[in-house]
Amino acid sequence: MTSFSIDISNRIDHGRISILRNIKEVAEELNIPFFVVGAFARDLIFEHIHRIPAPRTTLDIDIGVEVASWEEFEKLTSELLNRRHFTARPLPHRFVNETMGIIVDIVPFGEISGEANQISWPPDHGTIMSMVGFEEAYRSALQVLIDSEPSLEILVPSIPALALLKIISWDDAYPRRQRDAHDLLFILENYEETGIEAAPYDSHVALLTEEEFDSRLAAVRLLGRDMALLSGSEAIQKVIEILTREIDEENSYRMLSDMVNGATRQGIRFNTALQLLEKLLQGIQDNRQSL
Boundary (domain end) residue, out of 157, 181, 215: 157
The rounded distance, in Å, linking the Cα atoms of 30 and 17 is: 20
pLDDT tier at 209, thresholds 50, 70, 90: confident
Rounded Cα distance, 137 and 164, in Å? 8
User: Do 71 and 97 share a domain, yes or no?
Assistant: yes
**Of 215 and 135, more confident:** 135
How far from chain centre, in Å, is Cα 242?
A: 16
Considering the domain architecture, whether residues 19 and 131 belong to the same structural domain is answered as: yes
Which strands sit side by side in the sheet containing 151-156, from one edge to the other?
5-7, 142-148, 151-156
288 confidence band (pLDDT: 50, 70, 90): low
> One-letter amino acid identity for 222?
L
Coil, helix or strand at residue 96: strand
As a whole number, mean pLDDT of residues 247-273 equals: 86
Of 93, 102, 106, residue with least CA distance to 24: 106
Confidence (pLDDT) at 198:
53
Region 158-178 average pLDDT: 95
What is the pLDDT confidence band of residue 291, given thresholds at 50, 70 and 90? very low
The answer to whether 260 and 201 are in contact (CB under 8 A) is no
Please indicate, yes or no, whether residues 256 and 277 belong to a single structural domain of this protein.
yes
pLDDT in tens, 52-110: 998 877 789 999 999 999 999 999 999 999 999 999 999 889 999 998 999 999 999 99
Q: Write down the H helix ranges in 159-265.
A: 159-173, 178-190, 199-203, 205-210, 215-230, 233-246, 254-260
* Number of domains making up the chain: 2
pLDDT for the residue numbered 56: 78
The whole-angstrom separation of Cα 234 and Cα 240 is 10
Do 239 and 114 sit in the same domain of this protein? no
Domain co-membership, 78 together with 146 = yes
Average pLDDT over residues 220-247: 93
Considering the domain architecture, whether residues 175 and 149 belong to the same structural domain is answered as no
The per-residue pLDDT for 54 is 86
Instruction: Identify whether residues 76 and 178 lie together within a single domain.
Output: no
Spatial contact of 101 and 38, defined as CB atoms under 8 Å apart: no
Strands 128-130 and 61-66: unpaired
Are 213 and 102 members of one domain? no
The overall average pLDDT reported for the chain is 91
pTM comes to 0.92
DSSP β-bridge partners for residue 97: 102
Judge if 193 and 247 occupy the same domain: yes
Percentage with pLDDT > 90 across the chain = 75
In this predicted model, what pLDDT tens digit does every residue of 186-204 receive, in sequence order?
999 999 999 765 565 566 7
Asked if residue 290 has pLDDT above 60, the reply is no
Q: Are residues 19 and 145 in the same domain?
A: yes
Which phi and psi angles does 5 have, rounded to 5°?
Answer: -110, 135
State the residue range of the domain holding 270.
163-290
Those residues with Cβ within 8 angstroms of residue 189's Cβ, 6 or more apart along the chain or in another chain: 216, 272, 276
Cis omega before residue 123 (within 30°)? yes
